Amino acid sequence: MPESTQVKSKKRVADHGEVFTNPREVNAMLDLVKDESERIDSRFLEPACGDGNFLIEILRRKMNTVATRYSRNTSEFQKYTLQAVSSVYGIELLPDNAEQCRNRLFEYIVETFPETSQKTYDGFHKNLRYLLNRNIVQGDALTYTAADGKPIVFSEWTFIGDKVQRRDFQFDFLVKKEHQYSLFDEQGEAQHFDEPVREFPLVHYTKIYSYETK
């Protein structure tokens, strides 16, 4: 879809209220949180992501930071590209939009940055696809459910040196106030607001896709 197109069809507008946001408005809103939008590891969730107008602009800003800092070292460039992609999340009701969003982000990375096509290790593109498949979910953000009717679950990806830890969180647990704990426990120590539904062991960043078999 051309970036200037806001409506795919009148029927989709009538059936789903589908109207896409222009890049000008997207960037005006992102400029309000400019520092965060340019930070590689800051997490963003778009609960009605369409085919990715917000997410592509967020990723562009993050990738400008990656390119500025790591373009001279291909392996570092690829690692921090994966970290940038891992911090971008979306929920989309319509399956064609969700798939277009994943493809759009993937193609932007591999077509814009030749560093991502240099083989410092086997599986970079596989890792990239895996992260996008996990992070861009087809579902309904209002009911917190995925396309299969099960609760939406997102993976948190934490980069620790050259290792990555995956922790899965249920979306409704993250956003509903009744699930949140107090800021501090009885001893005055800081508490987490949420707990994972599943934790995974650390893996090397070149093997993120191996979580699929765990």
Q: What DSSP string runs through 125-170?
A: HHHHHHHHHHHEEEEETTTTEETTSSBPEEEEEEEETTEEEEEEEE
Terminus-to-terminus CA distance in the chain, angstroms?
Answer: 36
pLDDT range class, residue 187, cuts 50, 70, 90:
low
Contact 43/53 with Cβ under 8 angstroms? no
| Backbone torsions φ then ψ of 208, nearest 5 degrees | -55, -40
Cα–Cα distance list, 34 to 22, 42, 68, 92, 195 (Å): 18, 11, 16, 24, 29
Tell me: the pLDDT tens digits for 132-154?
999 999 999 999 999 999 999 99
d(C-alpha 52, C-alpha 46), whole Å: 9
Query: Which pLDDT value is given to residue 214?
Result: 62
Choose among 51, 211, 56: nearest CA to 126: 211
In this structure, what DSSP letter does residue 74 have?
A: H
Per the model's pLDDT, the better-predicted residue between 41 and 13 turns out to be 41
Burial class (CB in 10 A: 0-12, 13-18, 19+), 47: middle
Provide CB contacts within 8 A for 213, sequence distance 6+: none
Question: Regarding predicted confidence, which is higher, 214 or 78?
Answer: 78
Question: To the nearest whole percent, how much of the chain has pLDDT over 70?
Answer: 81
Q: Which residues contact 113 (CB under 8 A, 6 or more apart)?
A: 63, 67, 77, 81
Segment 59-89, tens digit of pLDDT: 999 999 999 999 999 999 999 999 999 999 9
**Residue 98 structure tokens:** 């969700």
**Per-residue pLDDT for 182 more than 50?**
no
Q: How sure is the predictor about 8, in pLDDT bands with cuts at 50, 70 and 90?
A: low
- Give the pLDDT of residue 5: 53
Only one residue has tokens 């197109």, namely 5
CA nearest to 33, candidates 11, 61, 12: 61
Per-residue pLDDT for 12 more than 70?
A: no
In this prediction, residue 92 carries a pLDDT of: 96
Of residues 19 and 211, more confidently modeled: 211
